[in-house]
């Protein structure tokens, strides 16, 4: 951050400073310098950097203004136009016209087209967004990112049966394209359709050019379907370069088939690699199952799970609930999320600029800061306690979930986060015949598909205005409830950097 601190630094030096600040998480230190320079000497690029710094700080209202000034100075710049549209979408502002403008400025770009589809969906025009993406994919059948986006869009529109339609159409024309088969396999994984994956792998084996993928995905399908002998043979026969990607699936397979000692050996090995982040949930389950003393070290301290009642710091809960309900435009579930019997909002909820959500964000940040301050002492080997605690709170994702009758969350983890959460905004009354734990949050209970006999470590009763914080690698899910609506805000705190 020592670079380009002089008051007479030119635009290029300030741009370098802004770039370094974004990479190092020091945006709040660079922003005043870049903003003052942009105000004194209007420059489109400096206003763009100002907007990018403000966006990184979740100051989206200010970022919108900065990008608008950049766009006025350089109305034909594609990167400024796209940045302006992207910030508007995150802020919760109608961004369709901005994305259309960005799309007109240059050759087609996948990220702009996907942003346009998201903006149309947010504006309530999901059918138009899907039709537009589908038409593009007819002309560009190898655009894998477009197929994935269209699949997700159709699922959230309540048409999951059409999720793979564009890929199947592309494969009918280009059956030897391995990238299309891999996209189809990955789609099956996202929706946990392991029977479909097995069938698709069998289809791919007959196609020249796709066989190399079949060993890896075939092993996953066999393991998750409980075909033990076939899975063992396929894991053993997998190419060496496929083994890293298969490690987590093999751990699941070994735990499911009660070969815990073998699973522990593989877990220990994987925790020493860059893939260790995704293995911690399985380490937690295996250590607890075997009475390994590392279980108490990993998640035994009561301070790792905190329950806070912050209703007094939030906007009126009925007002906040109305704001959230208006954002639930989806009709179906995401392909790769834990929601069962409900909907989830799209985009970073806590980046939106509505006053109720800004106030909620401020209360949440204060609560997370309090949680971090009370954690046990630092431990460099621990996935939660080993992280630095002197950085500002950032969010890796934030959303709202609206569950209806019999709705619940399947047990899952958030491997991209540091700290995860549940903030209860509106809850149904418990019926007289309902189970005592209907709607409760279960922590530490592994995903049912792994087949481990481990009950929850902790059950937490939801209450309006209650915030629960816990490590992102900790298994969590909810019990179904009979009737009514359960409205929550959830977020992942990003790993500090």
Same domain, 265 and 310: no
The verdict on residue 29 lying in a domain is: no
The verdict on residue 465 lying in a domain is: yes
The pTM (predicted TM-score) of the whole model is: 0.92
The verdict on residue 349 lying in a domain is: yes
Same domain, 335 and 480: yes
**CATH code of 263's domain:** 1.25.40
Mean residue pLDDT of the chain comes to 93
pLDDT at 237 over 80: yes
* Residue 188 three-state SS: helix
pLDDT (0 to 100) of residue 5: 44
- What is the pLDDT averaged over residues 195-220? 90
d(C-alpha 17, C-alpha 8), whole Å = 13
Same domain, 266 and 318: no
The stretches of 291-373 forming alpha helices (DSSP H) are 294-299, 317-327, 355-373
Same domain, 371 and 448: yes
pLDDT tier for residue 98 given thresholds of 50, 70 and 90: very high
pLDDT at 1 over 70: no
pLDDT tier for residue 208 given thresholds of 50, 70 and 90: confident
d(C-alpha 138, C-alpha 287), whole Å = 50
In degrees, rounded to 5, the angle at the alpha carbon of residue 220 between the alpha carbons of residues 147 and 417 is 70
Which of 418, 411, 465 lies closest to 443, judged by CA? 411
pLDDT tier for residue 9 given thresholds of 50, 70 and 90: low
Identify the burial level of 459 via C-beta atoms within 10 angstroms of its C-beta, where 0-12 means exposed, 13-18 middle and 19 or more buried. Answer: middle
The verdict on residue 108 lying in a domain is: no
Residue-wise pLDDT tens digits, 50-63: 999 999 999 999 99
What are 489's strand-pairing partners? 400, 423
pLDDT (0 to 100) of residue 434: 78
Residue 425 near residue 320, CB atoms below 8 Å: yes
Which position has the higher pLDDT, 315 or 4?
315
Residue-wise pLDDT tens digits, 135-178: 999 999 999 999 999 999 999 999 999 999 999 999 999 999 99
Same domain, 340 and 475: yes
Domain span including residue 436:
302-493
Residue-wise pLDDT tens digits, 381-432: 999 999 999 999 999 999 999 998 888 888 999 999 999 999 999 998 877 7
Same domain, 428 and 325: yes
Residue 109 near residue 140, CB atoms below 8 Å: no
Domain count along the chain:
2
pLDDT (0 to 100) of residue 442: 96
Residue-wise pLDDT tens digits, 250-283: 999 999 999 999 999 999 999 999 999 999 999 9
What are 486's strand-pairing partners? 403
The verdict on residue 470 lying in a domain is: yes
pLDDT at 117 over 90: yes
Which of 350, 331, 309, 374 lies closest to 493, judged by CA? 350
pLDDT at 82 over 90: yes
The verdict on residue 130 lying in a domain is: no
d(C-alpha 56, C-alpha 47), whole Å = 14
Same domain, 337 and 408: yes
- Among 243, 278, 313, residue at a domain's last position: 278
The verdict on residue 462 lying in a domain is: yes
**CATH code of 361's domain:** 2.60.120.620
Residue-wise pLDDT tens digits, 347-387: 999 999 999 999 999 999 999 999 999 999 999 999 999 99
d(C-alpha 95, C-alpha 86), whole Å = 8
Which position has the higher pLDDT, 348 or 213?
348
Same domain, 480 and 381: yes
Same domain, 313 and 420: yes
Same domain, 312 and 451: yes
d(C-alpha 245, C-alpha 216), whole Å = 8
- Among 278, 313, 344, residue at a domain's last position: 278
pLDDT at 466 over 80: yes
Same domain, 241 and 330: no
Same domain, 460 and 402: yes
**DSSP 8-state secondary structure symbol assigned to residue 430:** P
pLDDT (0 to 100) of residue 67: 98
- Among 210, 244, 278, residue at a domain's last position: 278
The verdict on residue 240 lying in a domain is: yes
Radius of gyration of the chain, Cα coordinates, nearest whole angstrom = 24
**DSSP 8-state secondary structure symbol assigned to residue 412:** B
pLDDT (0 to 100) of residue 106: 81
């Amino acid at each position: 951050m020592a670079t380009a601190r002089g008051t007479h630094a030119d635009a290029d030096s300030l741009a370098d400073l802004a770039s370094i600040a974004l990479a190092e998480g020091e945006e709040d230190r660079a922003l005043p310098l870049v903003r003052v320079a942009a105000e004194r000497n209007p420059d489109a690029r400096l206003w763009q950097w100002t907007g990018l710094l403000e966006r990184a700080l979740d100051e989206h209202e200010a970022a919108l203004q900065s990008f608008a000034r950049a766009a006025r100075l350089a109305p034909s710049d594609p990167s400024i136009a796209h940045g302006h549209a992207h910030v508007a979408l995150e802020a919760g502002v109608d961004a369709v016209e901005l994305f259309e403008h960005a799309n007109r400025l240059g050759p087609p770009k996948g990220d702009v087209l996907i942003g346009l589809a998201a903006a149309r969906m947010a504006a309530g025009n999901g059918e138009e967004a899907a039709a537009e993406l589908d038409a593009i994919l007819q002309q560009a059948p190898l655009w894998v990112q477009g197929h994935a986006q269209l699949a997700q869009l159709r699922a959230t529109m309540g048409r999951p049966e059409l999720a793979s339609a564009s890929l199947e159409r592309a494969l009918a024309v280009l059956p030897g394209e391995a990238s299309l088969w891999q996209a189809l396999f990955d789609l099956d994984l996202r929706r946990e359709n392991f029977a479909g994956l097995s069938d698709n792998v069998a289809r791919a084996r007959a196609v020249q050019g796709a066989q190399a993928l079949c060993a890896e995905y075939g092993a996953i399908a066999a393991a998750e379907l409980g075909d033990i002998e076939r899975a063992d043979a396929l894991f053993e026969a997998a190419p060496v370069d496929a083994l890293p990607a298969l490690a987590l699936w093999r751990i699941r397979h070994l735990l499911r088939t009660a070969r815990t000692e073998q699973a522990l050996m593989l877990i220990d090995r994987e925790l020493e690699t860059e893939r260790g982040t995704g293995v911690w949930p399985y380490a937690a389950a295996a250590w607890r199952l075997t009475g390994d003393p590392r279980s108490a070290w990993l998640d035994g301290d009561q301070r790792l799970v905190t329950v806070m009642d912050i209703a007094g710091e939030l906007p009126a809960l009925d007002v906040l609930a109305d704001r959230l309900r208006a954002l639930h435009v989806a009709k179906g579930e995401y392909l790769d999320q834990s929601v069962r019997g409900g909907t989830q909002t799209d985009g970073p909820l806590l980046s939106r600029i509505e006053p109720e959500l800004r106030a909620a964000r401020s209360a949440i940040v204060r609560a997370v800061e309090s949680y971090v301050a009370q954690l046990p002492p630092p431990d460099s080997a621990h996935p939660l306690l080993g992280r630095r605690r002197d950085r500002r709170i950032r969010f890796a994702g934030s959303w709202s979930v609206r569950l209806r009758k019999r709705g619940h969350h399947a047990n899952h983890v958030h491997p991209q986060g540091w700290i995860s959460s549940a903030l209860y905004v509106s809850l149904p009354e418990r019926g007289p015949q309902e189970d005592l734990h209907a709607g409760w949050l279960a922590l530490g209970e592994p995903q049912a598909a792994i087949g481990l006999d481990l009950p929850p470590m902790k059950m937490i009763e939801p209450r309006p205005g209650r915030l629960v914080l816990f490590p992102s690698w900790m298994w969590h899910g909810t019990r179904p409830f009979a009737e009514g609506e359960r409205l929550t805000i959830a977020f992942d705190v990003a790993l500090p950097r």
